[in-house]
Amino acid sequence: MSRRLPIVLCLLTAAPLLLVAADSPVVRLNDTMSPPAWALLERDLLRANEAACREFFTKYFDQRGFLLCVERWGGDDGPDDAIENCNDWPILHALGAHDDVLNLYKQAWEGHLRQFTLAKTSEVPFARDGMYYKEFPVTFDWVHNGEGLTVFNLQGLSDPNNIAFGHRVRRFAGFYLNEDPGAPNYDSKHKIIKSLFNGSRGPLLRKATGLDWAGDRIEVANRFSLGHGERSYQEMLDHFKDYNDIIGDHPQNMGATSLALNAYMLTGLPKYRKWLLEYVDAWRQRTLDNNGIIPTNIGLDGKIGGATDGKWYGGVYGWAFSVTVPQTGAIAHRNTHYLGHTGFTNAFMLTGDDKYLDIWRQQIKQVNAQSKVIDGRRMTPRMFGDKGWYAFSPSPYTAGGYETWYHSMKDSDRKLFSENGWTRFLEGKNTGFPESALRGDLERVRQRVAGLRADTTTPDTRLADDPMRFNPASVSSLIQLMLGGVHPGHRGQVLHARVRYFDPVTRRAGIPDGVAALVERLSNTSVTLTLVNTDQLRPKTLIIQAGGYAEHQFHGVSVGNTKTASDSQTVTVRLAPGAGGRLVLAMKRYVNAPSMRLPWDRD
């Protein structure tokens, strides 16, 4: 159960009046620390991101927030791609970037909503009155719905009190709680979302066509360079010609649980929590009933494989969904069952119940148990069809393994994925990782800006996804190093992080200007981090929150040999000019109801 924290005024020496929670301990770091290279690189990366995002927006958006492109519906490019051009901007602001980043994102968000509500199809039937309805995709799959909601679902990190945001959070979640009679997406009896295509106009309960996916006819040759490599509109249709069996539920529809989670974190209303757990519990049971492998079709009768001749592996984006690439004739395997992992991690954030991790943990074991030696090499399958397992790969199946370990913090889960530079750093084996990762993201910003400056496309030869490759926002290293978190990806997930920072002076999310943070160790019961004030002239005060959404609880703070008792969601730190120090924060994880409320708004 979440704790409610009374807010009182706490006067810190040489600092303005600050709003600090009464039971939030105040830690003072007065020992000077010459700024380490990683600290200076963090501040450089934030500044580079800010300037690059401003330049990107100026080139590709107009003052209305409209993307300067040819507007289309479809899986090649469409409304979701337009706002994906601002991927990671809300996180960038929540890390501490300038307010311009948030304001420009919101300008683009509002603009694209209007732009693609006005944009209509002439041939695709369900988008003839607008590609958006009620500010949401009319009906499409959650590969694309999730992509288009990536930035919106993270706006609450910095801007939870925005009135329009609050209305949309409730409305969007309501499309899946059957609160809108025009969008009956959910069957509460069978606990399914009824189709792979769903949205503000409800589920599409017929076979899909290539036209539904590809969008209206368009000139291609000598004008556009399509993301899938198609050379003509006919190849666009052919790309999607087998994308037909969409009736019934699919694991990727669990992307909709992020809408309910956001609504719960914003409002605290139990109905959102109840729906999310009901839906995810149904998928968990189906996976258990299917011998530990998540099925990719649940029919309208609620039965596994009910809309695909009883085949649990059937349907578009299913375990057996292998299609022909029209340009080359090659076979492509497009099994997106792994997107269902979002639902289980959302349920875990709400409950801390390991059963939601274990269901995926066991699936990883089940799939890897199907491995066999082929031509002298151990190979593991990725697909399952009428003839059994196929599409063998030399690497083990690890989908969701990294996230499972991150949430569980169990040593036994380390074998679920291959180690990476960050996990090695957390073990003390890769001490150069912070600098190399930050320098890598700085280089990424430079390359993206060089690309956009060299881009000679014009608005009438540019599709919505074309500028995306130049989006400069680079936050992966900052999420790991500053927050002890995992990048949420670009499918509409929420942020999972061990800590977050707030500036009580400017009353905004993000680390104060001049301050840098490095998470050095993570365990099930603690996080170790170093804070540095790179500003040699002015003191800084910041609030550290336990978790991305205060889902954790601090119960002790250690600085050197000094230990301070705590039972709070936040710790307040006062940094003298040029000072720094290492904190060990003892915590209990997943004991609070996650909330978007800013620290000074909790009562």
**What single string gives the DSSP state of each residue in 455-467?**
----GGG-BTTSG
- Nearest to 147, CA basis, from 485, 493, 596: 493
On whether residue 287 sits in a domain, the answer given is no
- Residue pLDDT, tens place only, 336-354: 999 999 999 999 999 999 9
> Taking the model in full, what pTM does it have?
0.95
- What's the CATH code of the domain at 572? 2.60.40.1180
Mean pLDDT of the chain: 95
Backbone angles phi and psi of 90, in degrees to 5? -60, -40
Residue found by looking up tokens 């084996």 in the block? 429
| Cα dihedral sign, 89-91-97-99 | positive
Predicted confidence band at 14 (pLDDT cuts at 50, 70, 90)? very low
- Residue pLDDT, tens place only, 433-473: 999 999 999 999 999 999 999 999 999 999 999 999 999 99
- Nearest to 335, CA basis, from 309, 304, 296: 296
Element (H, E) at 436: helix 433-454
So what's the pLDDT on residue 19?
A: 54
Q: Which range of residues forms the domain containing residue 538?
A: 7-30+498-601
Residue 182 has pLDDT above 80, yes or no: yes
So what's the pLDDT on residue 1?
A: 36
So what's the pLDDT on residue 602?
A: 87
On whether residue 505 sits in a domain, the answer given is yes
The tokens of 469 are what? 């490759």
Helices (H), 119-159: 142-148
Is residue 491 a contact partner of residue 342, using CB atoms and an 8 Å limit?
yes
Predicted confidence band at 13 (pLDDT cuts at 50, 70, 90)? very low
Q: For the chain, what percent of residues have pLDDT higher than 70?
A: 96
On whether residue 90 sits in a domain, the answer given is no
On whether residue 78 sits in a domain, the answer given is no
So what's the pLDDT on residue 9?
A: 28
- Residue pLDDT, tens place only, 500-536: 999 999 999 999 999 999 999 999 999 999 999 999 9
Residue found by looking up tokens 């992992």 in the block? 341
Cβ atoms within 10 A of the Cβ of 469, count?
Answer: 12
Average pLDDT value for residue range 304-323: 98
- Residue pLDDT, tens place only, 31-48: 999 999 999 999 999 999
Residue 401 has pLDDT above 90, yes or no: yes
On whether residue 512 sits in a domain, the answer given is yes
Predicted confidence band at 21 (pLDDT cuts at 50, 70, 90)? low
Is residue 368 a contact partner of residue 353, using CB atoms and an 8 Å limit?
no
User: 3-state SS of 64-114?
Assistant: CCCECCECCCCCCCCHHHHHHCCCCHHHHHHHCCCHHHHHHHHHHHHHHHH
On whether residue 142 sits in a domain, the answer given is no
Total domains, the chain:
1
Looking at the DSSP bridge assignments, the partners of residue 393 are 380
On whether residue 516 sits in a domain, the answer given is yes
Residue 7 has pLDDT above 70, yes or no: no
Cα 94 to Cα 475: distance, rounded to the nearest angstrom: 11
The tokens of 504 are what? 């009580």
On whether residue 567 sits in a domain, the answer given is yes
**Between 579 and 8, where is the model more confident?**
579
Cα 442 to Cα 433: distance, rounded to the nearest angstrom: 14
So what's the pLDDT on residue 107?
A: 98
Residue 17 has pLDDT above 90, yes or no: no
| Cα dihedral sign, 499-504-509-515 | negative
Average pLDDT value for residue range 418-427: 96
Average pLDDT value for residue range 78-88: 97
Average pLDDT value for residue range 100-121: 98
Predicted confidence band at 18 (pLDDT cuts at 50, 70, 90)? low
Give helix 355-368 / helix 401-408 axis angle, nearest 10°.
140
